[in-house]
Amino acid sequence: MPDENETQRQLTRLRSLLTEKGGSWRAGETSMSALSDAMFKRRLGARPTDGRTLADIERQAAARSAALLAERRAPGTPAAYDLRNVGGKNFITQIKDQGACGSCVAFGVCAAMEGTLRVQENDPNLSIDLSEAHLFYCHGRAQGRNCDNGWIPDEALQACQNAGIVDDACYPYTAGDQDCTGRCSGWQQRLHKVTAFHTVSATADMKTWLSTKGPLPACFVVYADFRHYRSGVYRHVSGEQLGGHCVSIVGYNDSDQCWICKNSWGTGWGEDGFFKIGYGECAIDTWQVCAVEGVTKPEEHHEEEGVWQRNRLVTALWCNGQPRNAWIYADGLGWRRITPDSDVTFLNLLYQSAGAKAARRRVNFFEERDTVKEIYVL
C-alpha cells in the first residue's frame, strides 16, 4: 500500500489541478485511491489482442475525434437517456466488485447481457444475475485468459453466443482462478446465450442502441487520476497510463457531453459504483464497443438442426460413473456431450476425443443440440 501521506498529497495536487483547469469532476478518497499502482492494475483487464498497444488505441481514437463530433447528434434519439431511470424504471442490475483480478471484461459483458434481457422482456424487475465466474474462469480460461492477462469483449461475447453461461447462483464468483470447478449440478440446463452481437463504430449508433435495445460493453484507457473519481464527468487531467478497462455503458447525456457507465469496483468508488465520462475521452467510444443483439434464457433454447464444427481443439474431457456420460470441451464453443446412442458409438467417439486431446490435434465434429454425433481427427 502507498504511504498515506503521499496519497493525500497526490489527492491535494489533483484537486488543485482540477480547479486550475476547470475540471468537470470531483476527486476524493475512494476504495481504489489507497491502492498501490500494482494492486490497482489488477483491476484493469482489457487487453488488445490485435497487435495494437494502448497508446495506438488512443492515437487512433484522437484521430477520429473530429468525425465523432459530427456524429454525436443522433436524429430521433432523446438528448439524454439513462437505463437506470426510464420513466421511473431501472433496467440495470446491481453493482458488483471484481476484486483483485483482471476479469473486468466478464463483468462488463454480463452487465450488458443482463440489461439487454430486461429491456428485451420489458421487465425492469426480471431476476437475472449471470455468472462472471463461468464466463471468465471457464470460457476465458479455455482461451488462455486469467487474472493477470485479462480478456477482450468480442471474444467473451463469442463464447456467450457459442457456449452460453449459467446464472451466478450456479457458479458464484470469487477473485482468483477458480479453475472452472464447482459448478452446480445440472449446469448444462441453466445456460443463457447471446443470439448475436456486433461492434458499433458510430456515436450516433451507440445512442440509438442505448435508447432502444440496452447497454453496451466497452473498453477505455485508464489513467492514475481515474482511481480518485467521486462524481461528475470524468476527463483525464493527470497521471500516467495504467491499463485498459471494460465497463458497461448504460446511458448518455448530450447536455453534459458524456456517457454513463456501470463499473465493477463495488459501490465504494465513484457515484455508488457508476461514473460519467466525456464523449471521446480515453477511447471510451471507439475501443471494443459491442452491441448484444439478444439474449436467450435456458427454457428458450430451441432445437437446432445438426451442424459441423470445424478445426476445433479438444481441451478437456469430463465423465462420471454413469453409463455413456462423457463430455468434451471444444475451444471457442464450450462443453459438448458425446452421444449416448450406443456403446460402440460412444466408446469410439470418446477414444478419438481423448487421442486428439493428448496429441493436441484439431478435429471436425458433427453436433445436434450440443451433442457430438460424429468426429474426425485432422
Phi, psi at residue 240, to the nearest 5°? -80, 165
User: In this structure, what CATH number is given to the domain that contains residue 352?
Assistant: 2.40.50.50
User: In this structure, what CATH number is given to the domain that contains residue 163?
Assistant: 3.90.70.10
CA–CA gap between residue 215 and residue 213 (Å, rounded)? 7
Same domain, 285 and 216: yes
Same domain, 286 and 322: no
Give the pLDDT means over successive 10-residue stretches in the chain (378 positions): 69 89 89 90 89 86 65 75 97 97 97 97 96 96 92 94 94 92 89 94 92 97 94 93 96 95 96 96 93 88 65 89 88 89 85 92 87 86
pTM exceeds 0.85 for this model: no
Please name which of 107, 195, 112 lies closest in space to residue 158, comparing C-alpha atoms: 195
| pLDDT for res 293 | 94
- Please list, in sequence order, all residues whose beta carbon lies within 8 angstroms of the beta carbon of residue 109, skipping any fewer than 6 positions away: 135, 153, 156, 157, 160, 217, 246, 248
Number of domains in the chain: 2
Please name which of 313, 318, 232, 283 lies closest in space to residue 61, comparing C-alpha atoms: 283
Same domain, 343 and 253: no
Which sign does the torsion angle of CA 232, 233, 238, 242 carry? Answer: positive
Residues that are catalytic: 104, 245, 263
Same domain, 217 and 362: no
Instruction: Single out the residue in 248, 271, 296 at which a domain terminates.
Output: 296
Q: Yes or no: say if 243 and 222 are a contact pair by the CB < 8 Å rule.
A: yes
- Please list, in sequence order, all residues whose beta carbon lies within 8 angstroms of the beta carbon of residue 181, skipping any fewer than 6 positions away: none
Same domain, 290 and 342: no
Which cell is 347 given?
Answer: 466408446
Residue type for 31, please? Answer: S
SS (H, E, C) the chain: CCCHHHHHHHHHHHHHHHHHHCCCEEECCCCCCCCCHHHHHCCCCECCCCCCCHHHHHHHHHHCHHHHHHHCCCCCCCCEEECCCECCECCCCCCCECCCCCCHHHHHHHHHHHHHHHHHHCCCCCCCCECHHHHHHHHHHHCCCCCCCCECHHHHHHHHHHCCECECCCCCCCCCCCCCCCCCCCHHHCCEEEEEEEECCCHHHHHHHHHHCCCEEEEEEEEHHHHHEEEEEECCCCCCEEEEEEEEEEEEECCCCEEEEECCECCCCCECCEEEEECCHHHCCCECCEEEEEEECHHHCCCCCCEEEEEECEEEEEECCCCCCEEEEECCCEEEEECCCCHHHHHHHHHHHHHHHHHCCCEEEEEECCEEEEEEEC
Same domain, 175 and 135: yes
Instruction: Single out the residue in 264, 296, 328 at which a domain terminates.
Output: 296
Instruction: Single out the residue in 268, 296, 324 at which a domain terminates.
Output: 296
Same domain, 198 and 310: no
Report the length, in residues, of the chain.
Answer: 378
Same domain, 371 and 314: yes
CA–CA gap between residue 377 and residue 221 (Å, rounded)? 42
Q: Yes or no: say if 291 and 304 are a contact pair by the CB < 8 Å rule.
A: no
CA 297 to mean position of chain CA atoms: 18
Same domain, 168 and 209: yes
Same domain, 38 and 162: yes
Rounded (10°) CA dihedral 7, 9, 14, 19: 140
Range of the domain at 368: 305-377
Same domain, 13 and 96: yes
Q: Yes or no: say if 148 and 47 are a contact pair by the CB < 8 Å rule.
A: no
Q: Yes or no: say if 369 and 304 are a contact pair by the CB < 8 Å rule.
A: yes
Same domain, 332 and 216: no
